[in-house]
Amino acid sequence: MKARRCAVLWLEPREVAHFELDDLLGGGTGVVNQVHWFAHAPHLSEPVAIDAQQAMVAGALGATAWVDFDALEQAHGAACIAALVALGLIVCDDAQHASNHHADTRFRDVQWYGLSSVSHAASRWAGIDAAAEVQEAGLYSPLGLRNAYGVPPPTFLDRGASEDRIVLERAAYTGFDDLLDLRSTCRNFDTTRALPRAQFANVLERVFGARGQVQAADDFEVIKRTSPSGGAMHPTEAYLIVQNVEGLAPGLYHYRPGDHALQPLPPVDDLAKLAFYAVGGQQWFADAHVLVALAPRFERNFWKYRNHPKAYRVTILDIGHLSQTLFLSAIELGLGAYITAAINEVDLEQAFGLTHFVEGPLAVCGFGIRSDEMVTSEFDPNRKAWPRKSPPAE
């Protein structure tokens, strides 16, 4: 049997505090800090705790060449090697350990840049109610943030002397400026009305639809969307949580940009609960008629940009471009929209059947009919979205 280290491994020395009575009785605080090792391997679902010896052995192994398993045991001890194999940090080429070997091989095939893959995997959430945590910490309002964190960095940055500023001419306003000024994050959706199917289809086509398609080479098609994409790869898929759209059954869907069509996906037990956790407990966002999980197919971008330190950044930019186009497309129709990165990626991955290092959500957008009443405060400084209404008192 042969073995080697998994493709990417980051060893984190993490300081963990715990209570010890002896320390308290000895005149200390009772709180003792100890360093524990955690291994981050992006082909696994989460970091794993290891001891110092396992960290040293795993860190000394190579990820490329296969070595004899018996030689590893003789050099480092059977118990240590068995533990690293069980954790998936050492992969073997035998049938007994095929699961971790397959996951590691699949990860290698995607061509991630190592540090980016660690960051992506480590920043994913599961089952987090971020809105409740913010509320409990008193950080929901601007005043709460100011009281907790002090004075923020200045809104406008000065570089150089003020007398050297060159004031530029103001452009004449057009209809496009009006549309831009209407862009604001909607936190109040009308859950009593169904979103017209034509408006739903309009937004999807304008944002995610293929506006053009060419055969760049054999088995290599390139599409054009209304948003730019690094290398013209357009890796981002739209996975939909449809809650209230005329003529569509509530459920999960995948959007096909080539033929402007929906692909129904297996149902979940509680759609509203998934929507709630999809947006990290932000109920005002969960109420949207449609939630769109923006999930890049990393292997499409990384096919071109292999093990590239900028490749992951490009996929994040892709999400930003698409979200702004979604904002403007929805608002032009008189709808409300938002984007949030405070999402529970793991819950979305499980619902849509995604593998996080192959195709994983980075943000969720939502859109739908605005409510006539502001229940949840919205940031609308120029009073365009709510011209005749005042926000509720904090």
- Expressed as residue numbers, the domain containing 98 is 2-110
For residue 319, being part of any structural domain is answered with: yes
Three-class SS string for 210-230? CCEEEEEECCEEEEECCCCCH
pLDDT for the residue numbered 296: 98
Q: What is the dihedral of CA 91, 97, 101, 102, to 10 degrees?
A: -170
**224 with 336, same domain?**
yes
Question: What pLDDT digit, counting tens, does each position of 236-289 carry?
Answer: 999 999 999 999 999 999 999 999 999 999 999 999 999 999 999 999 999 999
**212 with 325, same domain?**
yes
**96 with 178, same domain?**
no
Long-range residue pairs from 91-94, CB within 8 A, at least 24 positions apart, any chain: 91/3, 91/4, 91/5, 91/6, 92/1, 92/2, 92/3, 93/1, 93/2, 93/3, 93/66, 94/1
**217 with 331, same domain?**
yes
For residue 252, being part of any structural domain is answered with: yes
297 near 359, Cβ under 8 Å?
yes
d(CA 302, CA 216): 17
pLDDT for the residue numbered 392: 53
- Map residue 365 onto helix, strand or coil: strand
pLDDT for the residue numbered 254: 98
- Map residue 316 onto helix, strand or coil: helix
For residue 15, being part of any structural domain is answered with: yes
**64 with 181, same domain?**
no
**146 with 78, same domain?**
no
Amino acid identity for residue 183 in this structure: R
**207 with 106, same domain?**
no
pLDDT for the residue numbered 140: 83
Q: What tokens appear for 155 in the block?
A: 């809104």
Give the closest residue to 267 by CA, choosing from 353, 368, 356, 358: 353
pLDDT for the residue numbered 23: 66
d(CA 3, CA 207): 46
**102 with 197, same domain?**
no
Strands (E) across the chain are located at 2-5, 10-19, 31-40, 48-50, 67-68, 90-92, 212-217, 220-224, 236-242, 251-256, 261-264, 290-296, 336-340, 363-368
pLDDT for the residue numbered 341: 98
Read off the pTM. Answer: 0.91
For residue 134, being part of any structural domain is answered with: no
d(CA 242, CA 341): 19
For residue 236, being part of any structural domain is answered with: yes
**86 with 197, same domain?**
no
Domains held by the chain: number: 2
> Mean pLDDT by 10-residue block, N- to C-terminus, for the chain (394 residues)?
96 84 73 88 95 94 95 95 97 94 97 97 96 91 91 92 93 93 95 98 98 88 94 96 98 97 98 98 98 97 96 97 98 97 98 97 98 90 72 50
